[in-house]
Structures are given as C-alpha cells and as structure tokens.
Structure 1
Amino acid sequence: MLGTMMKWICILGPAVVVHALPTLHTYHGSHLGSRQQAAPGGLTDIDILQFALTLEHLESAFYKEGFAKFPASDFTALGLTEEEIAALQQIGQTEATHVSMLLSAIASAGFQPVMPCKYNFGFTDAAGMVATARVLEAVGVSAYLGAAPLLNSSAILSTAATILTVESRHQTFIRTVSGAEPVPAAFDTPLGPRGVFTLAAPFITECPAGSNLNVPAFPAIQLSTGTSNISAGQSLAVAGAEGSFCAFVNQGATKFVPLAGGSCTVPQGLAGEVYMMITSAERVCDDVILAGPSVLELS
C-alpha cells in the first residue's frame, strides 16, 4: 500500500500545469500577487500559471494553424459532419479564450506574461491534425490534474476545476470523431511538469527571450513500433534504451515491466492514452526517469 502511495505522489509532484484562471471579477490580480507562497518544488501560483500559459499558447496556435492549412472539405473527407467540424473549430476558440484570460490575469497581478513561441506541428493532412489533437488534449487533462494539489489559491483551484470539465469534453469529443472509445477508463492520470514539457517540446522550435521557463525535458523514447494501435502483450522495441524498467502510467496507477534486450512487453489492464517512461527504479519520479514519457494509444 505504501509503495502504491509513493508511486502516486511521484507522478503528481511537482506537476504545475493548469489550463485556465478565474475571471478577474472573481479573483483579482492584486490578490494573486500577494499570495506568492511556493508550492512543493519552489513553485508559486504565478509559476504555475506561466507554465499553463505556455501550453495554452501552444494549443491555441495548433488549432489556428491547422484550420488555416486545411479546408473544411478535408475534414469532411474524414467522415466528419458539418456540425462536428464546427465543434472542432470551437475547441480552438476555447483554447484562445484561455490564453486571453491567463494573459490578463498574470499581467493584472504585476507580472510579465510569457509570450508565444514558434512552433512546428508537422502538419501533413487533416487526419494527422485530428490524431495530434487527440494526444494534446489528453496531455492537457493530465497536466491540469497534476497542478490541482499545488495551487495555494482555493479561488483559482475552484474556477480551474470548471475549466477542466471543458478540457475533458474536448478530449472525449476528439476521441469520438476519431473512432475511439469516448470514455476508455474510469480515471485520468496526473502528469508532472517535466513529463508535460517532454511531450510539448518537439512542437516548439524557438521561444522569445524571457519566455523560456527553464523546465528541462527528458530524452525522448524512440519506439520502432510507433505509438498508435498498441495492444496488451505486444513487445515494444526501444532504440538505444538504457534503464531497468518500462513504466506504463494509466488511470492514476503505474505498471512496471522489466526492460530487457532493448524491449519490454505492454502489460494487461491498460486503456486509452498511456504514458510510457524508461526508469532506473520501480517508481516514477524525476530522479529515476531516464526517458519519456511517450503517449501510447491502446487499440
């Protein structure tokens, strides 16, 4: 029981991402600026919000660039209806609204908000955009969950919880139009900042001066089998892997499988998006994570 609790704590801490902030009439910037009590890991609420803004910038840019590149007819060709295309566009609009809210709130607290970076989403077709959106929304929910216990302000936490439900709807909708199970599991999984940034970093090419939050990414996992349509019992070949275990984080729990001969086997009982990491010990903490996470999509 104690081991399970420690694995959960390691996954949570120090997660620092939230996806929204209360409107200014419910939580004033001056009050925010006066509550700079550091969370575990030395993070203040402002640090957490700046990291949130970094990710919201990325998500907003993702949808804006994608819809600028691909016409509605490309999504119709995938089988989406006009209503579903409009709903997908609405997701992008809500992400832009989150950006505006965070910008205003951080600035009103007397801090300089981080600016958007330059991105390369590797768009080749509308199908690829939808597939990437599915991963981004799943990571967003996990990042947001990881931030919840670290916020000092109950006002921010309460309002952020109302936004989390919207982010979860994003994920459910995209899973549905992708032909995946809408609700694959009973629980979602929190993810720490380095794990989140490891997943976001491949999309970021350059950030303005002062907008680099100095969150180091872990090395990426190189899977020869890819990350889609993964099934239990499948052997995953990990190129250049050095470590003792493959950790599969899913539904708030972690399953460890020995890494032997450069490969490990996907365990039973996983569903939906799964975070895979390479570790040197049977725990998921920053000091033992050697690579990852990588997002696996279970078939």
Structure 2
Amino acid sequence: MVRCKTAAGAVLLSLATCSIAVPVEDVVSVPTTTFTSEPASTAPVRPHTNVTYHGPYTGPPPTTTGALTTDVLAPSIPALPPGPNAYDYPSDGKLHAPLPAPYTPAGGDGTNGSAPVYRMLSDFDYESLALVLYQEWIELDLFHWGLATFSVADFEAAGLTAEDRYLIQFMAEQEVGHVTLVSNMLGAQAPMQCSYNYPVANVREFIDFCQKLTRFGEAGVYGFLNHLNAHDVGQLLLQSITTEARQQMIFRQFEGLFPMPEWFIVGIPQSWAWSLLSPYISSCPENQTRLVWQNFPSLNILNQPNPARTNGADVWNETTGGYTNTLSTADISAEDDCLNSNEVGVGCGPAITRNRSVPLSYPGRQVFLEWEAPGQPIGPNNSYVTSTTAAAPVFAAWVSQLNVTYTPLQGIEGNKAWTAQPNMSTFEGDPAVNGTMFLVLTDLDLYVTPFNLTMLNPHVRAVALYQAG
C-alpha cells in the first residue's frame, strides 16, 4: 500500500504507485509515466517441514558409528615455520607489479576474470559446508519450535512482544535461505533435515540457548572460512554468516545482555563446533551424509555465570548441562531475578543494550569444572562417539577474540578441578575474556593464533561455552 498526499492535502490510499501533484516551484523532476514490471523469476527454496518429534534418540542402536574416515596419514599435522615467501612483500604502500587493469592492483585470488562456479574443491570444503548445513537446519527448526512451544503469555512474561516474536519468525525464514544456499553448493548428497532435542523448559532458557547456538555456529564458520580451497564458495558463505552474527546479537539483546562486548569475534575449529552442536541432534534420515569431525567430551562449568540473576556470578550449578551450559531459571527466587528489576544496571529485560553493574564474570574468579570421560555415544542416532587424544588435562584454555590464554588447573581430583579467570586484554582497554566465549581443557599450553587454532585439537580434552559477559 502506498500513502501519498494531493496538493490540497487530502490523503489517498492505493495499492498501486501514485503520482503526487506539487507546486511548480518545488519540482525537482516530474514523473510522466508510472512504470510496472512482472515479478522476476525466483529460485525455489529447499523443501523443509516442521519437525514432528523433539526429544532424545529412542531408536535402535546404530549400525554405523564414529566419524567419517579413511586412511589416516599421521596422528597430527606437524608444526612448520612460515612459508618460503611469507616475508617477501615489502608492505611499503607502493605498487610492485604492473596493473592488470585500470585501478586494479596485481594479486588476489579469483581476480583473473575466470567465472566462479561455487563448487567444492576439496574434502575440507565439503566437510566444512556439510557441518554448516547441519547448523542451519537446527536453527531453522529451533526458532520455529520455540514459537510453537511457548505461549504468547510466556513470551510476554519474558518481556518479548508480538514484534519480537515476529523477529524470531523472520530469523527462521532467513535460515530457509541459508539451508537452500548451502544445499545448492553441496549438491545431491547435502545433509537433510533431522529431529532435535533442546535443553530448555521456558522462554528465557530458549533465548539463552539460541544465543549460544548462534555463537558457536558463527564462530565455527569464522574458524575455517579463510582456509577453504573454494574461495567463491567462501564469499557466499560469508554473506550468510554475517546474518547469523546479527542473530546472535539479537538474542543477546533479548536476554538483557550487552549486545557486543568484544572487539573481535572468535573463530573456532570445526570439531569444536560439531562437538557443541551434535548433542542436540536426535536422529537423521537413513543414509544421511556423515561428518569427519571429532566429537570431544563435554565440559560442565559448575558455576557458569547466569545472566538471569541479579548477581550472575554468585551461582552454583544453574545450567541445563554440559557443552552449551545453557542457563536454568529453576532455582532463582523472585528477589534474585533481574527481570523483576527496573533499576538501571540491574534489570535485564530485553533492550537494545544493558550495562549491568555487577559483572557476570571477572578476572580472578574461581571457575569450577567437571568433564566427561570419552567414549560416550552422541549426535544423530547416537551414532557418533566422543573421543580425545589428549592426556589428562592440566590447563584451561580461554579462547576469545584474538587470544588463547592458558591458566593451570588447580585441585584436580579425578574429572574435577578449578581454575582462575585470567586478567588479560586483546588490546589496551579490551578485556579478552568477555561475551559468549569458549573454554577448553588441554594437556599442553601450545602456542596457537586464530589462523592455526586447529593445531590445538590433539591436546583438547573437553569443550564448553563460557558466559563471561
């Protein structure tokens, strides 16, 4: 519907484009014809349905178990020095080769005029995009499931209006596009929609789980994006994952958290993302495409900060379980529930931003940990198995922004220990431990940086999300 006014000020409402009469002295250009066009043809989306079952896997034991594999050439990738030409380019602000075309500097990948094909070029590409598709499918279902499971009154009690609920619906529609894009690039064997289980009992737990799920979905792509052989595929995936990043921020705002407390968004290895995702996939169709990635054991943070509390750091065992460590509201009294406060710095109702006076976590905080033994069935149809090649853990690795910082485990007793949150910054003024970040246990304080974080995988004992802010 188009709204316009006549020169006399009368309001007209029309379903078509309308012309506006204005005084001649105000004219910039005068439309003489109203143009219309037939709708352009649009590519179809990948077929999808509302999943009818949500809950743990209850079917027969799987006939195929473990990650997809073939011959293994070595127990790990050896650490090597930088490549032979790593320091050749002088970076002096001058041009060092002829321009292939006007205003076009020499170099770059895919800049020679050859047409992009948007196809996988390696097993690495395929397995990475297949992991992304598993992630997109669960997000599509999760957003719809939350809207169908909880009532209008439930959402409104959490401070979320009809417009907020529509935003969640729209995010589900975005996932239809993501599923279609990734499926088209993968081809006929692209993973299919599965059934799922979610560790939530109410709207606030649902929102917390959504913001954590979108965080490891986003971070999992950032970790491999620049390693893809198919850079054209990476371009389209980048245009998808930037939307996911905004979804994660929206769910933080719905939860009453500061929307983006970090200066840089962390990237994580695919096996971390798959470990965090797979427990929430119950079963998949027969002959579903399997993944190569490792399933690490879960890490339960016994005093995981709880954003639903007025003092989120003063907490003990208020999560719905390991891996995501999603908040639980079950034991929060009305007095301690920050949703019941309108005080600036204390209240945590949905908002564009909240600057909470009492931090969820802080340097020096004791963090108590408990981790599972490997060998647990997990993931679709319980057909994957958790594993690790690490020795007994001795460090906690805080993986956030551009940093990996190790703190020693203290008081180790069996599969329990504690550590202290480190006090470090990415750059001056930017606390590195902040936001929804990653905590893993390791047997070695290996030096790694964002581009080679997967080198840490052989030393990882367990993984989790930590709600630092």
When the two structures are superposed, what TM-score results if normalisation uses the length of structure 2?
Answer: 0.53
Q: How many angstroms apart in 2 are the aligned matches of 1:123 and 1:173? A: 19
Stretch moving more, 152-161 or 252-261: 152-161
Tell me if 1:224 matches 2:355.
Answer: no
Q: How many residues align?
A: 263
Q: Is the 8 A contact 1:227 1:295 kept in 2?
A: no
1:16: which partner in 2?
A: none
Give the CA deviation at 1:104: 2.9
Tell me if 1:287 matches 2:458.
Answer: yes
Alignment of 1:2-81 (within 5 A): 31-33=117-119, 36=121, 38=122, 43-81=123-161
1:249: which partner in 2?
A: 399
Change (3 A) 1:117 1:211: farther
Change (3 A) 1:166 1:279: same
- CA-to-aligned-CA distance 1:118-170 (integer Å, 9 cap, x gap): 21113311111101011011112101211211222232222222222211111
Q: How many angstroms apart in 1 are the aligned matches of 2:229 and 2:236? A: 13
Three-state SS of the structure 1 residue aligned to 2:457 is coil
1:278: which partner in 2?
A: 441
1:215: which partner in 2?
A: 293
Higher RCO (CA < 8 A, seq sep 6+): 1
Larger Rg, first or second structure (1 or 2): 2
When the two structures are superposed, what TM-score results if normalisation uses the length of structure 1?
Answer: 0.81
Tell me if 1:98 matches 2:181.
Answer: no
Give the CA deviation at 1:227: 5.0
Task: Provide structure 1 residue ranges, at least 5 long, that are not aligned to the other structure.
Answer: 1-5, 10-26
Q: How many angstroms apart in 2 are the aligned matches of 1:272 and 1:211? A: 33
Q: Percentage identity across aligned positions?
A: 22
Change (3 A) 1:64 1:82: closer
What is the root-mean-square deviation in Å for CA atoms of aligned residues? 2.2
Alignment of 1:141-160 (within 5 A): 141-160=218-237
Alignment of 1:259-270 (within 5 A): 259-261=409-411, 262-268=417-423, 269=431, 270=433
Q: Is the 8 A contact 2:409 2:419 kept in 1?
A: yes
Give the CA deviation at 1:32: 4.2
Stretch moving more, 203-212 or 242-251: 203-212
- The structure whose residues are more often helix, as a share, is 1
Task: Provide structure 2 residue ranges, at least 5 long, that are not aligned to the other structure.
Answer: 1-78, 83-114, 307-311, 313-359, 373-391, 412-416, 424-430, 447-452
2:252: which partner in 1?
A: 175
Change (3 A) 1:135 1:123: same
- CA-to-aligned-CA distance 1:198-220 (integer Å, 9 cap, x gap): 11122122233333214221011
Q: Among 349, 366, 370, which residue is 1:239 paired with?
A: 370
Q: How many angstroms apart in 1 are the aligned matches of 2:249 and 2:140? A: 18
- CA-to-aligned-CA distance 1:186-205 (integer Å, 9 cap, x gap): 10000111100111122122
Q: How many angstroms apart in 2 are the aligned matches of 1:159 and 1:92? A: 19
Please tell me the residue identity of whatever aligns with 1:77. Answer: A
